[in-house]
Structure 1
C-alpha cells in the first residue's frame, strides 16, 4: 500500500523509518459545495444512496423523497443482499421509484 502512495519508497528501509514515513502521510482533502435543488411545481424528488462493505458483506440502501418545497414526504433505509456496490445503488434507486409509484397521486422526477 505504501508503494502505491509513495512509489519511490525503499522497501528495504528499517521498520522505524518506514513507520515515520507512514505517520507523515496525510490524506488529500477535496471538497465541493453540494446543493439540493427544489423540484418543479407539483412534482417530487427522489434522492437515493446505497452502500456495500466488502469486508463484512453488509449492504443497505436509503433515500428520501421530498416535495416541491423540500419538505420530506417519506424517508427509507433498508438492509439488502448483494455482492457489489453498483447493484446496491441500482437497488436503492429501484426501491425509491417503487415507493413513489405506490404514492400514485404524486408526480416525480
Structure 2
C-alpha cells in the first residue's frame, strides 16, 4: 500500500512524475508541492520537448525544485517514483 506522509513542520514536500509517449518521444512533467499541513502550495505540469522516461523524471524534479527556490523555500523534501533518479 502506498501512502503519503506530511513533511516536518516548516518543510515542504515535492512529489513529481515524468511521462513519455513511446520509447523516445515527447515527454512531460508534473508535480505538487505541499506544506507540513498537507496543504497544496503549488501544482504544475509542463511539456519537456523530447527524450526518454528518465529524462522526464529528472525534468519533473528539476522543475519542482526550481519553483521552491523561486518561492524562497529552502527546507524541501523531494519524493519521486524513479529508481534511476534516486540512485
Q: Same fold (TM over 0.5)?
A: yes
Gaps of 5+ in 2: 78-87
TM-score, structure 1 normalization: 0.65
Offset of 1:56 from its aligned partner? 8.4
SS at match of 2:18: strand
More strand by share: 2
Tell me how large the CA RMSD over aligned residues is: 1.6
Gaps of 5+ in 1: 1-32
Equivalent residue, structure 2, for 1:78: 46
Structure 1 stretches of 4+ with a deviation exceeding 4 A read none
Quick one: distance in 2 between partners of 1:68 and 1:105? 13
TM-score, structure 2 normalization: 0.81
**Pairs aligned (count):** 77
